[in-house]
Amino acid sequence: MAKGNSGAKKGKTTTSAVDFFGLKRNRMDTWNALSTVAEKLARARAAGRDTAELETRAQTKLDDVEIVDAYWAYPGALLSQEVRASSIGASSTPSRARSRRSAAT
């Protein structure tokens, strides 16, 4: 949030277009990072490798995106809940999530 925008009263916090579009960009960047981690997680699981670190990274990214997605009309929190329920990294999750994100933007 920007403080002291022209026309705003001293000390009053206002939201600018930059704040809004920064949030949108951050949301997409976080979803893209989650998708990348989910793909790595799926490959690691298929190869029988240890996935603890990737699971933690995926959970952290999902936690981050759920905070912001609660305010999006579509797909909103529904998509992040579906991804969490699918135990992140199931073979169909990254592509299904990516196609829904593309349709939502």
| pLDDT (tens digit per residue) in 65-86 | 888 887 776 666 777 778 778 7
Residue 54: pLDDT band (50, 70, 90) is very high
Instruction: With a cut of 70, say whether residue 1 has pLDDT above it.
Output: no
Q: How many CB atoms lie within 10 A of CB 51?
A: 18
7 or 21, higher pLDDT: 21
pLDDT at 51: 95
Q: Which long-range contacts (CB under 8 A, 24 or more apart) does 19-28 make?
A: 23/68, 26/68, 27/65, 27/68, 27/69, 27/72, 28/101, 28/105
Instruction: With a cut of 70, say whether residue 90 has pLDDT above it.
Output: no
Predicted TM-score (pTM) of this structure: 0.58
Considering 1-5, 37-41, 68-72, the range whose residues carry the highest mean pLDDT is: 37-41
CB 66 within 8 A of CB 32: no
Name which of 24-28, 32-36, 70-74, 86-90 the model is least confident about. 86-90
